Amino acid sequence: MKACCRTLQRATKLGLEETAWRLSKEGRHREACEVFEKRLALSPDNPMIWNDLGNEYAAACQFEEALAALKRGYAIDPKYPLPLYNLGVHTLAHCKELEKAGLVDKAKFQDMVSEAIGYFSTFLEKDPDHADCHQSIATAYRMVHDKHRAGAHTLEALRLNPDLQIPAKGLLKKAAGLLSR
C-alpha cells in the first residue's frame, strides 16, 4: 500500500474514533456504537476497538451486545486483559439492575455475580496491581456475602491506591477485623 493511502486510512480511522468519543461524551451512545462498528470494519482484529464498542453498547443499555463485543476483544488478544475487567464491571452492573427491578431470582443473581468474579479474577491474574479491579471484585464478594474476600480485596485496593473511595463507612475497619481472625 502506498504511503499516501496508509496516511488517508489512518486519518479515516482517527476521524471515526474522534467522532465516536464525541458522541459518547454527548450521551449519544447508540450513535457512538454505529461509528465504532464502522471503525471496526477497518480494523476487525483490534481488541481495543472491540473493548470500546463493548463499553458503548453497555452505556446504550445493550447488555448482550456489550458482552459479545468484549468477549470478541479478549478472544482476539488474550494478552490485552481490559475486556475482562469490563466484562466483570458490566455483568455486575446488569445484575444489580435486574435485582433492583425484581427480574432475577436468587440462583440467577448468584450465577451472574460469580461470572463477574470470574472475569475480575482472570483479569487480576494478568494485572494484579489494578486497584479498581480489586475494589470491583470486593463489591461482587459483598453481594454474595463473602465478607472475608471482600475485605481482603478492599484492603488491597486501598494499598494500591489510598485515594480510592470506600463504598461504606467503617468498611475498612470491618475488613481489617475479618482478616485478623
- Number of domains the chain is built from: 2
Neighbours of 21 (CB within 10 A): 15
Q: Does 99 lie in the same domain as 170?
A: yes
28-63 pLDDT per residue, tens: 999 999 999 999 999 999 999 999 999 999 999 999
Among 78, 94, 120, where does a domain finish?
78
pTM of the model: 0.85
Contact 70, 51 (CB under 8 A): yes
Range of the domain at 29: 1-78
Report pLDDT digits (tens) over 79-121. 999 999 999 999 999 999 999 999 999 999 999 999 999 999 9
Contacts of 25 (CB under 8 A, 6+ apart): none
